[in-house]
Amino acid sequence: MARKTKDIRNVTLSDFYCTKCGMKGIPVFRTIGQEREPGHLKKLFCLHCQEETNMAEIRPRGKYTLDDFWIEYQGGNFTSSGDRIEPWKNFVSNYKKEEK
Ligand SMILES: [Zn+2]
């Protein structure tokens, strides 16, 4: 059977943060079980930049947290076009190692 209607119990609200300005974007609903990998980047319109930018997805109780985003953002792991230089797991674990 095709599931056409979205059951509200099966969706989760993801936050998006702009890789360019670091501001929070417009949240997007995701169907549970169909989420992307942690720290997924998605092209969305940023209200602050007034253009489409890559935004990092942060899910409630997800593996990729706002802390991880800030480490990447402030540590310079995003290029000016919003692409990731290193996989976030590597980048964040290296960063935490250096901090010690
Ligand atoms: Zn922005």
**Confidence class for position 2, pLDDT limits 50, 70, 90:** low
Residues 6+ apart with CB under 8 A from 77: 71, 84, 85, 86, 88, 91
**Average per-residue pLDDT for the chain:** 91
Contact criterion met (CB below 8 Å) for 58 and 42: no
Residue 54 CA to ligand 1 centre (angstroms)? 8
Identify which has the larger pLDDT, 2 or 36: 36
Name the pTM for this structure: 0.85
Residue 4 CA to ligand 1 centre (angstroms)? 33
Residue 85 CA to ligand 1 centre (angstroms)? 18
Provide the 3-class DSSP secondary structure of residue 80.
coil
**Confidence class for position 40, pLDDT limits 50, 70, 90:** very high
Confidence check: pLDDT of 100 > 90: no
Residue 5 CA to ligand 1 centre (angstroms)? 32
pLDDT tens-digit series, residues 44-60: 999 999 999 999 999 98
Confidence check: pLDDT of 69 > 80: yes
Residue 7 CA to ligand 1 centre (angstroms)? 31
**Confidence class for position 32, pLDDT limits 50, 70, 90:** confident
Residue 49 CA to ligand 1 centre (angstroms)? 4
Residue 35 CA to ligand 1 centre (angstroms)? 23
Token look-up 């095709």 returns 2
